[in-house]
Structure 1
Amino acid sequence: MGTRQAVNRLIVSVDAEGSSQRDLRGKLHLRDMVYRLVEDALRAVDLPADRVHLEDRGDGVLLATDPATPPEAMVGLWLEEIYQGLREHNRGGRPDARLRLRIGMHAGPVADDGRGLVGTAVDQACGLCDSAAARRVLAAAPRSDLVFVVSDWLYQSVVAEGGRFVEPEHYRPAPVEVKQAGLTAWFHVPGLPVPPLPAAGPALATGNPSGEGSRTGAPGGTGETDQEKDRQPVPPEPRREAPKYVFEQIDGDSTVLDGNTFEAGSTAVDQGRKRRTGGGGAR
């Protein structure tokens, strides 16, 4: 049996895309590959099985590291190993066997009741991984195989500090809904300068649906700043028509109108005449 005492741990939720669309053989292959990728990456950061809680989640896994494990190892080398393992697995393979992952990560106090982990940190890590925002980001990057989502706390406390294989400049924030609560999460798609954050309602910031090949440092991968996105188009100025008549001189008994001189008492005006620069009598 586990202990009900809450301990601060790093929580990682890993989920595979499109598992429900596979047949039994495909599901078994998917599960085998997910476990293989996760365990190989754990060995790369020197985390043996007795220092990690690994829990099956059907088409994914939930893991929690030992409290003594440096979190930067998980957001750095561990994630890089997952990314490179995915690339190797998917290179030259059949499209129907392609594996794409969503990974959510958070940290906080959790308890183990012997059946699994319990705590708000678990809810948030799983919620980030399974959020509509994470699904849309991965769908908006069709040539990528991994979207990584971390909580705002984890980004500010760990990712923003940088380090080996940690690239905070390639993360972008966006609001997400987790358990009917609005949170800020940070998204990263390894291999892209910025993650694509498509316009998808209030749960996700606006951005470029493709995101690939976009300008580095541009929010949402569009190559535009937030001010440029929000700027309303300036309507063209209304066309100003030239006045039909120009009074050039009103002097005594005569008036010069559009270059034509009219004597006092005249009411006939030829609207079709062209303007002349000099004076002259009406013809």
Structure 2
Amino acid sequence: MGSDAVHRSFVVVDVESYGDLTRTSPHRTAARNGMYQVMTTAFADCDLPWDDDAVDDAGDCLMVLLPADTPKGVLVDRLPERLVAALREHNHVHAAGARLRLRMAVHSGEVHYDEHGKTSAEMIFTYRILDAAEAKRALRDSTATLVLIASDPFYQAVTRQRPSARPDDYRPVDVQVKEIRTRAWVRLVDGRPLGADRPAAPARGLTLAELGPIVEVLLRTPGFETREGRDLVLRDLPFATIIGRHGADRQDTVSIVRACAHYPGGLEALLEAIRFYADGTTEMAELDTLLAQRVGGV
């Protein structure tokens, strides 16, 4: 038998690249445990109620349903910063494969309960805006650990009314996910877009003529010529978990370079990570020259 609708606020988070093949099963277990830990810690820091019966668990994604009397402003002016602090604590003590970067969406609406559980068009809507392509791109192309997505109604009624929620840090995005066509608002809670501090090579694919010389130099660059060395270098890249890896040195290096070239400032970020191990070598100088030629279009 059905019930009347009950108002709830929704907070949903998703782990970036949880299914990436570079993550092992122990990595995923640590990441899932970490997802719960950072959420419960941040909720406690904000005096928000945590009820296990009000949590939907989708493996790499959690939705928390909050009571109608929960102050909505807390979800956008305190919770994001406390979540970032908890993420930094987690990432500081875990290997790259177990580290977390999250998208978080906020919305509110009605929920219907029955003997089997609950259903809500607004809950579905929240999951949809979480999957907005622009939200995923904002996290992927940045050094952030958390990207916040607010529905347009939530942004207009709550976020825009609270200077402490940093409404000017959001940008509007169009969301087209399955049946949903709407506007949402996206904010990088921490970090910055890749390449924001310096001129970056255009985010375009490498031609074979560009790729070949870079790969040849990397295969003899100290600190990058072995799989173990490449693993250490990639730990310093914020988008490392979504780089496809291969067993053979050449194929692995090609995959890394192609992936980095896809991101604004990605090749620069790769070279800076390599520089820690290879600074002052002939190979590092060659790599700097090759990158300068690409930026300059030589």
Cα RMSD, aligned residues only: 2.5
Q: Deviations over 1:157-197 (max 9, x none)?
A: 00001154x1111111111113333211000011257xxxx
Number of equivalenced pairs: 197
Q: Please tell me the residue identity of whatever aligns with 1:96.
A: G
> 1:12–1:62: 8 Å Cα contact kept in structure 2?
yes
User: What code does the residue aligned with 2:85 have?
Assistant: Q
1:160 aligns to what? 160
8 Å Cα contact 1:86/1:145 also seen in 2: yes
Structure 1 consecutive aligned stretches of length 4 or more whose deviation exceeds 6 Å: none
Q: Which has the higher strand share?
A: 1
Distance 1:122 1:69, change over 3 A: same
- Provide closer, same or farther for how the CA distance between residues 27 and 169 of structure 1 changes in structure 2, counting only shifts above 3 A: same
Partner residue in 2 for 1:175: 174
Shift in Å, 1:39: 0.9
Q: Residues 17-28 of structure 1: matches in 2 within 5 Å?
A: 17-21=16-20, 22-28=23-29
- Give the match for residue 127 of structure 1: 128
Asked which structure has the greater RCO (Cα within 8 Å, sep 6+), the reply is 2
Change in 2 beyond 3 A, CA 1:86/1:116: farther
Aligned-residue sequence identity (percent) comes to 30
Change (3 A) 1:167 1:3: farther
Structure 1 length-normalised TM: 0.63
Q: Deviations over 1:258-278 (max 9, x none)?
A: xxxxxxxxxxxxxxxxxxxxx
- Partner of residue 144, structure 1: 144
CA distance change for structure 1 residues 36 and 212 in 2, over 3 Å: closer, same or farther? farther
Q: Which runs of 5+ in 2 are unaligned?
A: 200-298
Contact 1:52–1:65 at 8 Å: present in 2 too? no
CA shift, 1:140, in A, is 1.2
**CA deviation profile, 1:1-45 (whole Å, cap 9, x unmatched):** x96321111111111011112222111111100111111111122
Q: Please state whether the residue corresponding to 2:160 is helix, strand or coil.
A: helix
Conserved 8 A contact 1:52-1:66: no
Gaps of 5+ in 1: 194-207, 215-283
More helix by share: 2
Give the structure with higher Rg (CA). Answer: 1
Is the contact made by 1:105 and 1:128 (CA closer than 8 Å) also made in structure 2?
no
Asked if 1:107 corresponds to 2:108, the answer is yes
